[in-house]
Structure 1
Amino acid sequence: MGKIKKKLWFAGALCLGLLFSGMAFAQTEAQQEGRDRGQFSGDFQTNVRFYQRDSLRGAAGIPFYDYLLYGVDSWLTLNYRVAGFDMGIRFDMFHNSNLFNPTREASKQGIGRWYIAKSIGKLDLAAGYLYDQFGSGTTFRAYEARLLGVDQSVLGVKAAYHLTPNWTIRGFTGKLKNQFKLDDIELYRPILRGACIEGLVKLNTNAQIQPGISAVSRTLDTKTMESVAQEINSYKLEDRFEPKYSTYLASVYNTLLVKNISWYVEGAFKTEDVVRDLTGKLFNPNRGYVLYSTATYSKKGFGLVLQGKYTSKFDFRIAPSEIQNAGLVHFLPSLTRLNTYRLTSRYNAATQLLGEVALQGDITYTPKKGVTFSLNVSDIFDPDNSDQLFRELYADVSLKPKDKKWKLNTGLQMVDYNQARFEQKGDFVNTLTPFAEWVYKFDRKKSIKAELSYMLTKRNYRLFGQEDPHPDKLQDLGDFAWALIEFDIAPHWSFTVANMWNVDNDIHYPTVGVFYTLKVTRLSVIYAKQPAGIVCTGGVCRFEPAFSGMRLDISTSF
């Protein structure tokens, strides 16, 4: 542990030294030659949680409510650009954090990221903790999603060469950051490397293509391989296999643009790998596949999006021991609607890396100004046994009459959610959720918003006449009702009062919030109680335990 901390602080000190030395050198050079003197930028974010034990609502039995009572996550980023150099450093601090494990605290701090980049003619060079992706991210995506506890950066080097103004080849090598290690910030041992070439070809004045090819490989280190082999040797003889050190991925992708039509298609292949099945047992699929496509069409008053994805055994991690969001090298999007209302967003579909067929269609129609209809349908099932995983039907209408001070959005959502697959508990949840949002503007600065919705469970039994085999058993927590009132005083203040009512168990989850915004700085104080659930962003999900207490969030940029 001591060696790790020394390495981290040495890296941070080295980066700071390079940062400020580069600043001094570049500024002196710029002053001498009358060139750009450089520019600072950065951002700061801190999220503070005060936990209040509430056993009735499930906020108990874990350290946060039993004795810690407090937690904070903070990030401070500094960037500097001068004389063709880009450099930056980010300090991360997590005290009693639940970002990485919702039931166990993590306390660590240090240099979460540093990087230095330089462009020399047609060549771009970078070193440090790097973010990048190939294509849509099917073979490789290094990115950050703070609220999910994800920081899939690669500590290494990257180079890009612009062959022509329209064609670029780039590659990298390095080690993936182990953000989920609870006692300190560390790196995974296996080596990761990859390259891609992307370009643009104009077919005529109205059409062009943007093709690309990528390749990525991962090589296990000796210690990781020994751990994998030890686990495999504990299995029955018929379940044992010989793991390979290296795994390779390749993809081909292209975007076709013709007037108001866009079509993206990507196919990816993965060689033999060691992964975990749905029960957590290691196995070695000899190959994996992904085929992903999205097509869009738009014209005045009308928009259409069609998407499809086929996935087969395409779980690619830096080490076979990792599960859930830890150690993922790539990213496969979830083909479901991004819902924003409290009850319509309660059930989400996490991407199934071992296998899924996903389809989605979205239509937006505006027959006249002030009236918009939206329809979204998504369907996800298991290709091996055709089991239904997720289905959603969503429709709404937005009204904003001319010369009126109000606007209304109302609609209906139906969801079929395989809770046994996504949460390893329960069975199916079938919901019907009508909702409405009404906004009224008193004047240029003051407005009020109201939301109402009701989530009915056991939809097929209660509305469609199917026989209920378990009439005395709830689906998940049963029905919910939601009501919210928000009062805004532009440009600074916003006040919110809301309540989420678990009807079947007669439990209320109130929320009271105050928000203050000054230019790019935002401060919020919220007292809330909320039930446990799954929180997702683009198919990347994490379990969020029941919450009871106060949240203080501050964010700014400069």
Structure 2
Amino acid sequence: MKLINYILVFGLSTLTLHAQEKKDMGRFFGGFETNAQRYLEFENDENSPEYFRSNNYLQLNYEVKKWTFGMQVESYEKQALLNYYPGFDGTNVATYFAKYKTKKLEATAGYFYEQFGSGMILRAWEDRSLGINTALRGGKVFYKPTKDIKFKAFYGQQRSGFKVSEGHLYGFDLETNLSDLLSFEEADFEIGFSNVNRYEKIDQSMVLHPSFSPTTHAFSLRSAFSQGIFYSSFEANYKSKDATLNRITNSISNDFINDGNALQFNLGIAKDGLGIDLTLRRTQNMLFTSERIPEAVGLNQSSLDYSDKVINFTPALTKQHHSNLANIYVYQAQAGVEFKSNEIMKSGETGGQLDVVYEFAKDTKLGGKYGTKLALNYASWYNLPGTYRAVPAQYETNFFGVGEKYFSDFNIEVKKQFSENSRASFLYVNQYYNKPWVEDASHDVNTHIFYGEWIYSLTKSKSIRVDVEHMWADADFKNWMGGSMEYNFNEKFSVYAMDLINYGNTKDKEERKKHYLTIGGAYRKGATRVALGYGRQRGGLVCVGGVCRFVPESTGISLSFNTAF
């Protein structure tokens, strides 16, 4: 009934939209989204018997003159989709805000989102597909006294389900453009400084006689420079000493207190069909949460496994593949400290990613009539080198060098248009995935993947897309093959079918050599989209933008609907 009431509010708000505008009393706008699944079969979810689940989001905003008011109602009935944070339960008002905005000043009270720099000390954000919403409840001020100076300040408590964290966050960010001051006529130079502080009262349930401060400070200094075809950026981050979380016992103590730091450097050029981009990053003990001890959730899990109460943002800097098989062994950034055993002890990560893109010109030998695009990418990530001891837990790292290898990905992609109606792409991927260190598994994995895609346009709005792919893997679930077909009848309606087959599986029972077949379709009209699908979901990591969540294997019918008004 609660969900029905909220849907009625949505309907009434859209009916009053035009009337409000005519009276010059502002305007309503917002959106509604629902993602529902009827599970016919799922595994490893004994504590969640509900076979029908849905995530629903209703966003309502009202804007009048310099003011904007908004709220988001969320409903997870009877439960949220599989492996969403259990705090997303029931129906309630999730976020609300009031904002006042002029040319120089913007002030927000209520819930808000924010990011300082690259996000390595603060990023409050939402991604519904990952089940992440780390909005802050409090207040934020943005002030721009001149075109070259920007200042932000905030205070808040972080959202966790329909509640907020015990920890209190506050800080500021200052960014200035120095190009005019330095008389740069053809160059652009910016610097920024950020500070984020977390205060959490330390009681005896955490640790007796704490030898660390209730307040943890984080600082960030960054710069960005560009001129002509060249660009670069640099960011340095520091987190003050604090108790380090023991992930095995989900506890902290006075015996394992460390500071943290992170450095990121980016360099690139772009000119005449050539693009080169290099990013290097080193992070040490940079897990930053609004509560020191995560909430225990289920067996051997905590709220941290759902990215709950995480203040900062450290995505994996690797290629975001569109191949399904290339996303089976996908890397997650290892930014924190984790001592899993006497053999596996981590304090962060070091590595980088190189992208090279070149477009062969049209009417050349390699470019042909329509041109050819070539893309090379290489990413490699390692544990920090140094000395580690499990009992008592401690570590000392070296700034340069690399430790145990976590992951590497080398790939090359060629995109070619053969005619006005036909184009194709071909991808080769070679991956190394250290599953014992990244996922607590028994074997590391080496893969070779080939992927091909062909798109043919029948008319301006009608097209067909076909892809095929194969993975050779030397361990874990061994070899896979797959493919998909999509047909677009017009700009509004499309259907698809996709299948993945783990034919090389020798690890488990013969029955696990199954098809992961999915069929479905989507209809779009204006700002509204409806999609219906049926199939089996491969268990594993689902990732968006370098951030991942685990989903168990399941079979079912899915329905999604979203609209904006």
Aligned residue-pair number: 494
1:246 aligns with 2:223: no
**What is the aligned partner in structure 1 of residue 396 from structure 2?**
none
**What is the aligned partner in structure 2 of residue 362 from structure 1?**
355
Any conservation in 1 of the 2:251–2:293 contact (CA below 8 Å)? no
**Alpha-carbon deviation of 1:443?**
1.8
1:525 aligns with 2:526: no
1:350 and 1:277 map into 2 onto residues whose CA distance is: 19
**What is the aligned partner in structure 2 of residue 480 from structure 1?**
480
1:259 and 1:76 map into 2 onto residues whose CA distance is: 45
Any conservation in 2 of the 1:114–1:128 contact (CA below 8 Å)? yes
**Alpha-carbon deviation of 1:153?**
0.5
- Alignment-mate amino acid for residue 387 of structure 1: E
2:554 and 2:240 map into 1 onto residues whose CA distance is: 42
**Alpha-carbon deviation of 1:106?**
5.3
Q: In the TM superposition, what are the counterparts of 1:150-549 in structure 2 within 5 Å?
A: 150-179=132-161, 185-202=162-179, 203-222=183-202, 225-229=203-207, 242-277=211-246, 279=248, 280=250, 282=252, 284-322=256-294, 323-324=304-305, 325-354=307-336, 355-369=348-362, 370-384=371-385, 386-401=403-418, 403-458=419-474, 475-505=475-505, 506-549=513-556
**Alpha-carbon deviation of 1:492?**
1.1
Any conservation in 1 of the 2:85–2:308 contact (CA below 8 Å)? no
- Alignment-mate amino acid for residue 208 of structure 1: D
Any conservation in 1 of the 2:37–2:52 contact (CA below 8 Å)? yes
- Match for 1:107 among 89, 103, 117? 89
Judged with a 3 Å threshold, the aligned counterparts in structure 2 of structure 1 residues 105 and 253 are, in CA distance, closer, same or farther, namely closer
Judged with a 3 Å threshold, the aligned counterparts in structure 2 of structure 1 residues 80 and 227 are, in CA distance, closer, same or farther, namely same
1:294-335 deviation line (CA, Å, top 9, x unaligned) = 222111211111001000111111111122312111112321
Judged with a 3 Å threshold, the aligned counterparts in structure 2 of structure 1 residues 96 and 542 are, in CA distance, closer, same or farther, namely farther
Deviates more, 1:117-126 or 1:89-98: 117-126
1:133 and 1:157 map into 2 onto residues whose CA distance is: 14
Q: 1:535 aligns to what SS in structure 2? A: strand
Q: Which runs of 5+ in 2 are unaligned?
A: 295-303, 337-347, 363-370, 387-402, 506-512
**What is the aligned partner in structure 2 of residue 68 from structure 1?**
50
Any conservation in 1 of the 2:358–2:373 contact (CA below 8 Å)? yes
2:142 and 2:268 map into 1 onto residues whose CA distance is: 30
Any conservation in 2 of the 1:100–1:149 contact (CA below 8 Å)? no
Any conservation in 1 of the 2:332–2:547 contact (CA below 8 Å)? yes
Any conservation in 1 of the 2:206–2:251 contact (CA below 8 Å)? no
> When the two structures are superposed, what TM-score results if normalisation uses the length of structure 1?
0.84
Any conservation in 2 of the 1:99–1:149 contact (CA below 8 Å)? no
Judged with a 3 Å threshold, the aligned counterparts in structure 2 of structure 1 residues 104 and 188 are, in CA distance, closer, same or farther, namely closer
1:496-518 deviation line (CA, Å, top 9, x unaligned) = 11211011243111111111111
Between the aligned residues of both structures, percent identity stands at 25
**What is the aligned partner in structure 2 of residue 9 from structure 1?**
none
Judged with a 3 Å threshold, the aligned counterparts in structure 2 of structure 1 residues 173 and 105 are, in CA distance, closer, same or farther, namely closer
Q: 1:453 aligns to what SS in structure 2? A: strand
1:377-413 deviation line (CA, Å, top 9, x unaligned) = 0000001361110100010101103x43211101200
4+ residue segments displaced more than 4 Å = 102-106
1:434-491 deviation line (CA, Å, top 9, x unaligned) = 1100111122222111110001101xxxxxxxxxxxxxxxx22221101111111121
Any conservation in 1 of the 2:231–2:269 contact (CA below 8 Å)? yes
- Match for 2:65 among 83, 91, 97? 83
1:102 and 1:329 map into 2 onto residues whose CA distance is: 18
Which structure shows the higher helix fraction?
1
1:99 and 1:209 map into 2 onto residues whose CA distance is: 45
1:278 and 1:481 map into 2 onto residues whose CA distance is: 36
Q: 2:242 aligns to what SS in structure 1? A: coil
Q: 2:327 aligns to what SS in structure 1? A: coil
1:516 and 1:101 map into 2 onto residues whose CA distance is: 27
2:213 and 2:220 map into 1 onto residues whose CA distance is: 21
1:380 and 1:457 map into 2 onto residues whose CA distance is: 20
**Alpha-carbon deviation of 1:367?**
1.1
Any conservation in 2 of the 1:62–1:103 contact (CA below 8 Å)? no
1:188 and 1:62 map into 2 onto residues whose CA distance is: 27
Judged with a 3 Å threshold, the aligned counterparts in structure 2 of structure 1 residues 166 and 102 are, in CA distance, closer, same or farther, namely closer
**What is the aligned partner in structure 2 of residue 554 from structure 1?**
561
1:133 and 1:256 map into 2 onto residues whose CA distance is: 20
Judged with a 3 Å threshold, the aligned counterparts in structure 2 of structure 1 residues 244 and 105 are, in CA distance, closer, same or farther, namely closer
- Alignment-mate amino acid for residue 206 of structure 1: E
Judged with a 3 Å threshold, the aligned counterparts in structure 2 of structure 1 residues 61 and 348 are, in CA distance, closer, same or farther, namely closer
> When the two structures are superposed, what TM-score results if normalisation uses the length of structure 2?
0.83
Judged with a 3 Å threshold, the aligned counterparts in structure 2 of structure 1 residues 105 and 155 are, in CA distance, closer, same or farther, namely closer
1:67 and 1:278 map into 2 onto residues whose CA distance is: 28
Deviates more, 1:356-365 or 1:322-331: 322-331
**Alpha-carbon deviation of 1:99?**
5.1
Judged with a 3 Å threshold, the aligned counterparts in structure 2 of structure 1 residues 457 and 103 are, in CA distance, closer, same or farther, namely farther
Any conservation in 2 of the 1:191–1:221 contact (CA below 8 Å)? no
- Alignment-mate amino acid for residue 556 of structure 1: T
Judged with a 3 Å threshold, the aligned counterparts in structure 2 of structure 1 residues 275 and 147 are, in CA distance, closer, same or farther, namely farther
- Alignment-mate amino acid for residue 98 of structure 2: I
2:289 and 2:560 map into 1 onto residues whose CA distance is: 32
Q: CA RMSD in A?
A: 2.5
Q: 1:554 aligns to what SS in structure 2? A: strand
1:353 and 1:103 map into 2 onto residues whose CA distance is: 21
Q: 1:422 aligns to what SS in structure 2? A: helix
1:152 and 1:104 map into 2 onto residues whose CA distance is: 15
Q: 1:138 aligns to what SS in structure 2? A: coil
Judged with a 3 Å threshold, the aligned counterparts in structure 2 of structure 1 residues 89 and 105 are, in CA distance, closer, same or farther, namely closer
**What is the aligned partner in structure 2 of residue 468 from structure 1?**
none
- Alignment-mate amino acid for residue 259 of structure 1: G
Q: In the TM superposition, what are the counterparts of 1:125-144 in structure 2 within 5 Å?
A: 125-144=107-126
1:500 and 1:87 map into 2 onto residues whose CA distance is: 46
- Alignment-mate amino acid for residue 167 of structure 1: I
Any conservation in 2 of the 1:97–1:105 contact (CA below 8 Å)? no
Judged with a 3 Å threshold, the aligned counterparts in structure 2 of structure 1 residues 503 and 246 are, in CA distance, closer, same or farther, namely same
- Alignment-mate amino acid for residue 485 of structure 2: I
Q: 1:113 aligns to what SS in structure 2? A: strand
Q: 1:344 aligns to what SS in structure 2? A: helix
2:243 and 2:236 map into 1 onto residues whose CA distance is: 21
- Alignment-mate amino acid for residue 297 of structure 1: I
